Amino acid sequence: MSFENLYWGDIGAALAQTLAMVGGALLLTVLVGLPLGILLFLTGRQQLFQAPVAYGSLSFVLSIIRSVPFIILLIVLMPVTVLVTGTSLGIRGVIFPLVVGTAPFFARLVETALREVDRGIIEASLAMGASTTQTIFRAVLPEALPSLLAAITVTAIVLVDYTAMSGAIGGGGLGDLAIRYGYHRFQTEIMLVCVAILIVFVQLIQASGNRLVTHFSRK
């Protein structure tokens, strides 16, 4: 095995693609998943806007999406992806299925995080004359911030995993590179380098996530 004729340029480009996919998809996942999670929380049993039908339907749809393996979701979603983004290839083509794949997962984590907020705090906020919106944004979300940051960290790591998978069907990035060179052309060293970079990447996400969680924990 030799590392001399590695295509560092290709690896750099693939890393940039992975970063762009994870970053973009994470941003959109949070933007989509957070409101969904809040909705799940609010409509849940014994919660502020208890609504069994709304909760049940939303919960059902999210669970269905979550039970489809991501690689299959990628393929099934292709026509929709083309409709939404104009292409099923490259970063643009892959972010849509990534968000569809991870937003339900993130929404569940948000629901759990919000449910863990002490009911007494919600009650105190309402007793002080806060509206439900004020209670959510000024009391519940800030109280849940450490758990939400932990949820974002986990979701980012799942996204790293999914981007590698979506590389296989033309998404690009480190996963794509590893499969193309390592699997199809037997250049194991490229695969190893890609995997090593992914490991470091995931470790970095976890470590910075942990630091943020600790920083905002006031309990």
Partner 1 sequence: MIRLEGITKSFAGKEGAVVALDGIDLTIAKGEIFGIIGSSGAGKSTLVRLINLLERPTGGEVFVAGERVTDAKGERLRDLRRSIGMVFQHFNLLSARTVAGNVAYPLELTGQYGRVEIAERVAALLARVGLSEHAKKYPRQLSGGQKQRVGIARALASEPQVLLCDEATSALDPQTTGAVLDLLRQINRDLGVTIVLITHEMDVIRRTCDRVAVLDRGRVVEEGPVTDVFLHPRHAATLRLVREAEPDGGSLDAVAASDLGGRAVRLTFTGAAAHQPILGRIACENLVDYAILAGRVGHIRETPYAQFTVSLSGRDVAGAIAGLRASGVDVELQAGIPLPQLEERPRHVV
Q: Give residues in contact with partner 1 (CB under 8 A).
A: 118, 120-121, 123-131, 134, 138-139, 142-143, 145, 216, 218-219
Instruction: Give dist(CA 56, CA 44) in Å, integer.
Output: 9
CB 27 within 8 A of CB 95: no
Q: Which of 138, 152, 60 is nearest to 110 (CA)?
A: 152
By beta-carbon proximity to partner 1, the closer residue of 138 and 185 is 138
Classify burial at 114, counting beta carbons within 10 Å of its beta carbon; exposed 0-12, middle 13-18, buried 19 or more: buried
Report the residue number, 143 or 176, with the smaller CB distance to partner 1: 143
Least distance from partner 1 to the Cβ atom of residue 143, Å: 5
Rounded CA-CA distance 44/57 in Å is 11
CA distance linking residue 41 with residue 48, whole number of Å: 8
Shortest spacing between CB 209 and partner 1, in angstroms: 18
CB 215 → partner 1: shortest distance, Å? 12
Q: Angle at CA 87, nearest 5°, toward 84 and 90?
A: 120
* Least distance from partner 1 to the Cβ atom of residue 47, Å: 15
- Is the distance from CB of 29 to CB of 159 less than 8 angstroms? yes
Q: Which is nearer to partner 1, 85 or 132 (CB)?
A: 132
Euclidean distance between CA atoms 205 and 159, whole angstroms: 11
Q: Which is nearer to partner 1, 118 or 203 (CB)?
A: 118
- Which is closer to partner 1, CB of 183 or CB of 216? 216
The nearest distance, CB 131 to partner 1, in angstroms, is: 6
